[in-house]
A and B are shown apart, each in its own frame.
Chain A
């Protein structure tokens, strides 16, 4: 019986934690490119054991083989002992034939470079050839792959077609086999089951710590990060408690996530009810996104990291409630106009303050607070080009007593078409209120327009 496409895909999707590179090989197989993740699992054997454990959960009959080429793995998997449901009746003909001559030890692994050697005694069906070609080959007495390999390559292609030659080359690793990988999943999960229900907080915290590490490894292997996590506590009374968590920046779970989750659980009250234990915990990362190199540095702590400890936690908390852009910090810009010289960017995206190079020539009287937008005001200059004697701002009039200026500021020349130059005055009224006023220099047009840009020097 063949796995229906849907069941095959579901089975493949269960393997995301082993690799982000999964390719379906219908009708009954799929490839996992685990070359990047063997290290994460502590070796080939460990990975295979975990993979088999994962696949057994599905209840499907499965066979697995690890090899350095897809072709060898395909053949090896069919040669391997079946896991799960007894295979005898359910397997394809080709598979059962191959099975007759397995030579695997405890685990189905074909050592690197030994693909063709391992396959030499296997029947030609193991090369993924169509039934017709196989029948022809058998009629000619070419039963095994080894026999086929001993033929001169040119005659192989001429007599049995390009497909046969290509498959043989791929099995030997002499020709590449491009795979059509599934789009990476958006959600990742990790799960831990306890031998007996856990009631105490401490082992639960330890388990959550372990989960964040596991999930972090999965995401790191896939080069992904996430902003949305969910912790699920599967209680022995069948209830499932969920704790959702959003973070301000893309993260790969690590101790800091465990900390945030811990906080979250405490905020939501004691997690396991008294007496009702927790059977399993799982951690899900939703909507994963690729992590840029810069972010990866930050995640691994390689860069100095702009926010640390308490402060990072504060910013994360503020951002999770008010939005990622809620906490901002000024960064310098190349502009002469005061409102453009500094721009507010999210505190999460800017480089650390140490990298800030002091701007030269800041006036000691530069305004401390800048209005978001300069407000037009009524003002009257005493003399042409002089400071105004009073200013009317937000429906109050302020007679001005002291003046410093004028300071001319030209907008960037490439913008000069859009904006006229300005003449700044620092003005103080009789009570000491200060205004940073400017006048637009528009080709001597009268009356000129006045704006207030900052209050309180």
Chain B
């Protein structure tokens, strides 16, 4: 609880045990903390990339094997970007049967569902997908969500459009876009084989971090997210103190 209050007040708790094999500087470790984590993505295929990153990130959370994931997106969003698919979930190590999907019709309903879901402490994570044009999500709504999340120790991964109307009180904010995968050998006249799923991750806001960028990818052998080889540039600078 004290820890949660620290987060709420913007204080920086010292990083807990380093993530296995990824060290203290693994940026997505911050997603294990309770709170609201926003992921901004452009429209179309980019938003879909952000959503797939959220699934991969959820698969890497502690307790992913036994807890349930609540996926909340509006009907319109389902039509635009599709719904989590059992085969893919299984492939990244998330039991498809542990994923609960809710499709509210309106943004208001969606926010209500998110609030209810954050009150439930037994979930692995809540993933919400806001519509392309946000009408109701703003500072007040985000404050309500993050207070609930911090009180109950639950986490919300919220996919949003790139255009932000007003400041929100999310604990962390990221920008996600797809990144070209590491090329593999030549496959078909002029086409290379695509490599692992890759994303460009820009950290816009997180307590204790300065804005930074990474390239991350989904390792198909280790079944987890890791830093992509191509993001060698050490742009991540941890704030002192």
The residues of A with any CB-CB pair to B shorter than 8 Å are 308-311, 313-315, 317-318, 321-322, 326-332, 338, 341-342, 344, 347, 350, 352-353, 356, 358-359, 362-372, 382-383, 386-387, 393-394, 396, 398, 400-404, 426-428, 430-435, 454-457
Contact pick for B97, options A330, A362, A435, CB 8 Å: A330
Task: Assess the A367–B45 pair: CB atoms within 8 A.
Answer: no
Extra pairs beyond A328-B100, A328-B101, A403-B188 (20, CB < 8 Å): A309-B122, A311-B122, A314-B116, A329-B98, A329-B101, A330-B96, A341-B86, A342-B86, A368-B52, A368-B55, A369-B52, A369-B81, A370-B85, A401-B191, A402-B183, A433-B46, A454-B82, A455-B48, A456-B49, A456-B51
Task: Contact check, A314 vs B120: say whether CB atoms are below 8 A apart.
Answer: yes
Q: B102 to A327, Cβ gap below 8 A?
A: yes
A362 cross-chain contacts in B, Cβ below 8 A: 87, 90-91
* Across-interface contacts of B83 in A (CB, < 8 A): 344, 369-370, 372
Q: Which of the 9-residue segments B24-32, B193-201, B233-241 touches chain A?
A: B193-201
User: In the complex the two chains form, what is the Cα distance from A309 to B67 in whole Å?
Assistant: 13
Encode contact with A along B93-108: 1 for CB under 8 Å, 0 otherwise: 0011111111110000
The 7 listed contacts between A and B (C-beta, < 8 Å) are A314-B119, A368-B89, A369-B48, A369-B51, A370-B83, A403-B192, A434-B197
Contacts of B44 in A (CB 8 A): 394, 396, 455
The residue of chain A having its C-beta at the shortest distance from the C-beta of B85 within the complex is A370
Q: Which residues of the partner chain A approach B68 to less than 8 Å between Cβ atoms? A: 311
Q: How far is the CB of A163 from chain B (nearest CB, A)?
A: 63
Contacts of A365 in B (CB 8 A): 91, 220
CB-CB under 8 A for A310 and B91, given A318-B116, A331-B97, A402-B194? no
Residues of B within 8 A of A427 (CB): 194
CB pair A432–B99 under 8 Å, yes or no, is no
Also in contact, A455 and B112, with CB within 8 A (given A311-B68, A402-B183)? no
Our pick among B88, B90, B92, B193 for the contact of A402 (Cβ within 8 Å) is: B193
A310 and B122: CB pair below 8 A?
yes
Known: A353-B95, A368-B55, A369-B82. A322 touches B189 (CB 8 A): no
Task: Indicate whether B7 reaches chain A with its CB closer than 8 angstroms.
Answer: no
Which of B138-146, B174-182, B204-212 participates in binding chain A? B174-182
Taking a contact as CB atoms closer than 8 A, the residue among A313, A341, A382, A432 that contacts B189 in the complex is A382
Given contacts A330-B97, A353-B95, contact A370 B197 (CB under 8 A): no
Question: Which among A327, A370, A402 has the highest number of chain B CB atoms within 10 Å?
Answer: A402
A-side contacts of B4, CB under 8 Å? none
Of the residues B87, B123, B181, B192, contact of A363 by C-beta under 8 Å:
B87
Q: Which of B43-99 contact A (CB under 8 A)?
A: 44-46, 48-49, 51-52, 55-56, 68, 70, 78-79, 81-92, 95-99
Interface of B is mostly: mixed
Cβ-defined contact, B122 with A327, below 8 A: no
CB-CB nearest 8 A-B residue pairs: A342-B86, A455-B48, A353-B97, A432-B178, A456-B48, A368-B88, A403-B191, A370-B85
Give every chain B residue within 8 A of A342 (Cβ-Cβ). Answer: 85-87, 96
Tell me the complex Cα distance, A332–B81, Å: 21
CB of B180 within 8 A of CB of A454, answer no
Interchain CB contact under 8 A, A433 and B89: no
Partner pick for A366 among B82, B88, B109, B119, CB 8 A cutoff: B88
Contact of B100 among A309, A329, A352, A372 (CB under 8 A): A329
CA of A314 to CA of B52, assembled, Å: 25
Q: How far in angstroms is the closest Cβ of chain B from A150?
A: 72
Categorize the interface residue count of chain B. Answer: 35 or more
Whether B194 and A457, one on each chain, are in contact in the complex, defined by CB atoms closer than 8 angstroms, is yes
B180 adjacent to A329 (CB under 8 Å): no
| Bound form: Cα–Cα A396–B44 in Å | 10
Nearest CB on A from B50, distance (A): 8
- Chain A residues with CB under 8 A of B178: 431-434, 456
Contacts of B200 in A (CB 8 A): 432
A142 CA / B232 CA spacing, docked (Å): 112
A327 touches B84 (CB 8 A): no
B40 at the interface (CB under 8 A from A): no
- A159 to B90: give the CA distance in the assembly, Å: 81
Complex: how many Å from CA A356 to CA B99? Answer: 13
Q: Bound state CA distance, A230 and B117, in angstroms? A: 26
In whole angstroms, what is the CA distance A328 to B96 when docked? 11
| Residue B121 is within 8 A (CB to CB) of chain A in the complex | yes
By a CB distance below 8 angstroms, the chain A residues around B48 are: 369, 455-456
Residues of chain A lying within 8 A (CB to CB) of residue B89: 330, 368
Chain B residue with Cβ nearest A353 = B97
Smallest Cβ-Cβ distance to B118: which chain A residue: A314
Q: Which residues of B contact A371 (CB under 8 A)?
A: 79, 81-82
Report whether B189 and A366 are in contact in the complex, using a CB–CB cutoff of 8 Å: no
A402 to B98, CA, bound (A): 33
Nearest CB in chain B to that of A343: its residue: B86
Chain B nearest CB from A340 CB (Å) reads: 11
Contacts of A328 in B (CB 8 A): 100-103
Most buried by A among B56, B100, B113: B100
Q: Which residues of A contact B181 (CB under 8 A)?
A: 402, 428, 432
Chain B contacts of A428 at CB under 8 A? 180-181, 194
Residues of A close to B112: CB separation below 8 A: 321
User: In the complex, are the beta carbons of A404 and B190 less than 8 A apart?
Assistant: no
Decide yes or no whether B187 CB sits under 8 A from chain A: yes
Contacts of B99 in A (CB 8 A): 329-330
In the bound complex, CA of A434 to CA of B117 (Å):
31
Asked whether A318 lies within 8 Å of B102 as measured between CB atoms, the reply is yes
Contact residues in A for B91 (Cβ distance below 8 Å): 362-366
User: Which A residues are in CB contact (< 8 Å) with B199?
Assistant: 432
- Are A454 and B192 also in contact (CB < 8 A) when A311-B122, A327-B100 are? no
B85 with A367: CB separation less than 8 A: yes
Chain B residues, Cβ within 8 Å of A455: 44-45, 48-49, 81-82
Chain B residues contacting A332 (CB-CB under 8 Å) are: 86, 96
Q: How far is the CA of A393 from the CA of B44 in the complex (A)?
A: 10
A344: nearest residue on chain B (CB-CB)? B101
* Selected contact of A401 from candidates B96, B123, B192, CB within 8 Å: B192
